[in-house]
Each structure stands twice: as C-alpha cells, then as structure tokens.
Amino acid sequence: MFAVVDILGQQFKVTEKKKYYVPRLKEDADTEITFDKILLYGDDNSTKVGNPLVSGMKVTAKVIGHMKDNKILVFKKKRRTGYQKSNGHRQHLSQIEILKIG
C-alpha cells in the first residue's frame, strides 16, 4: 500500500514503516503528525486518484528528528574578467517515519 502525499508543497510517495527526509517541519521531535493532503492512494486491489485530493484519507507519521543536509556548493565564473564567486548552503530537513496510511 502506498500514497502520494503533499508535504509543505512537495509531493512524496510514501509507504508504511519507512523513513523519509522532508523539508523542515514545525513540530518537535517524537511527536505524531497527520497529513490530510493525499493526492493518490493505491493498494493491491485498487487505486484512488484525487480530484484534487482523495477524501477521507490521511497519513499518520512520527517526527524522528531535525537535521541539515550536506552542503551544496554554487560556483560562478565569468571567463577573461577575473570574476569568481563561491557560495553554498545546507538545507534544513526533518526525518519522519510513516506509521499508518488510511
């Protein structure tokens, strides 16, 4: 069984008992949250497609912790002018575990 969930404007295909990295959530670690924006739901027998959302469905997840992703380097250069600029950032993420789909 799987579901496509909208979490903070990004879509994730999730299954039960799996862990995912999502954009930073406001909730503290070790709290349960519920996502109700389900775009698609599927199991062995059938598939439900939302228009735009599947009604009556929700996904329950547990926030495991918050962290930062690896550093992304952005390097800009213009040839023959001596212009070079290096910049980078680390994205803030939350790790969640899907407890129940239904």
Note the helical H segments in 1-102: none
CB-CB contact of 93 with 66 (8 Å) = yes
Looking at the chain, how many residues does it have? 102
pLDDT in tens, 24-35: 999 999 999 999
Say whether pLDDT at 102 is over 90: no
Stated as kind and residue range, the H or E segment containing 94 is: strand 92-101
Share of the chain above pLDDT 90, in %: 98
pLDDT in tens, 55-87: 999 999 999 999 999 999 999 999 999 999 999
CB-CB contact of 37 with 53 (8 Å) = yes
Q: The sheet that has 47-49: what strands, in order across it?
A: 10-15, 2-7, 38-42, 47-49
